[in-house]
């Protein structure tokens, strides 16, 4: 059995007038994330980790923000397509470990729904997805509530 590890990172700016989508679910908040798609920074970092582990470049290569078909797209579609691409290459998902950095909103109450949503899209057990939320203790752009960043690590098996 071949084992591969991938790491993904993404960040999006918080702005007024947009919905906040994280982990495939909509979360009530005064701001949303700015991006070409729905700007689900968690899913984008997860896609990069999956693609990296399979040595398939990154999310921007496969789903460029210059392509009209991805304008305002639901990031769950990008994740579903990413999982299909890595499975077509012979990989299966072992697990994903994800850390979201945000001062607000408080994310812990939403983690079970995010895990459920991601597990359904990826066709894996919820037990195979770990999501943690942290703050940056009011330091940096995250601490100033200018944006949200996400780190994701995945294990693939072939």
User: Could you tell me the mean pLDDT of each successive run of 10 residues in the chain, 158 residues long?
Assistant: 97 97 97 95 98 97 89 95 98 98 96 98 98 95 96 98
Q: State the pLDDT at residue 68.
A: 85
Q: Is 5 annotated as a binding residue?
A: no
Q: Is 12 annotated as a binding residue?
A: yes
Q: Is 134 annotated as a binding residue?
A: yes
Q: Is 137 annotated as a binding residue?
A: yes
Q: Is 66 annotated as a binding residue?
A: no
Q: State the pLDDT at residue 30.
A: 95
Q: State the pLDDT at residue 74.
A: 95
Tell me the C-alpha to C-alpha distance, in Å, between residue 121 and each of 21, 82, 115, 117: 15, 10, 10, 6
pTM of the entire predicted model: 0.97
Using omega within 30 degrees of 0 as the cis cutoff, is the peptide bond preceding 105 cis?
A: yes
Domain count, the chain: 1
Q: State the pLDDT at residue 151.
A: 98
CATH classification at residue 35: 3.30.1330.50
Q: Is 10 annotated as a binding residue?
A: yes
Q: State the pLDDT at residue 83.
A: 98
Q: Is 62 annotated as a binding residue?
A: no
Q: State the pLDDT at residue 64.
A: 87
Q: Is 75 annotated as a binding residue?
A: no
Tell me the C-alpha to C-alpha distance, in Å, between residue 112 and each of 24, 28, 138: 12, 16, 25
Q: State the pLDDT at residue 52.
A: 98
Q: Which helix (H) or strand (E) holds 153?
A: strand 147-157
Its domain, for residue 53, covers 3-157
């Amino acid at each position: 059995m071949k084992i591969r590890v991938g790491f993904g990172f993404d960040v999006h700016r918080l702005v007024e007038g947009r919905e906040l989508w994280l982990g495939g679910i909509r979360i009530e908040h005064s701001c949303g994330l700015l991006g070409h798609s729905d700007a689900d920074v968690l899913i984008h970092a997860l896609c990069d980790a999956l693609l990296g582990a399979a040595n398939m470049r990154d999310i921007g290569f496969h789903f460029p923000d210059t392509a009209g078909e991805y304008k305002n797209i639901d990031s769950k579609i990008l994740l579903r397509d990413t999982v299909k691409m890595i499975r077509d290459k012979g990989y299966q998902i072992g697990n994903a470990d994800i850390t979201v950095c945000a001062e607000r909103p408080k994310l812990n109450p939403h983690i079970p729904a995010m895990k459920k949503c991601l597990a359904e899209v990826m066709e894996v057990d919820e037990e195979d997805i770990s999501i943690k939320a942290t703050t940056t203790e009011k330091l940096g752009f995250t601490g100033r509530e200018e944006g949200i960043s996400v780190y994701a690590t995945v294990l693939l098996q072939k």
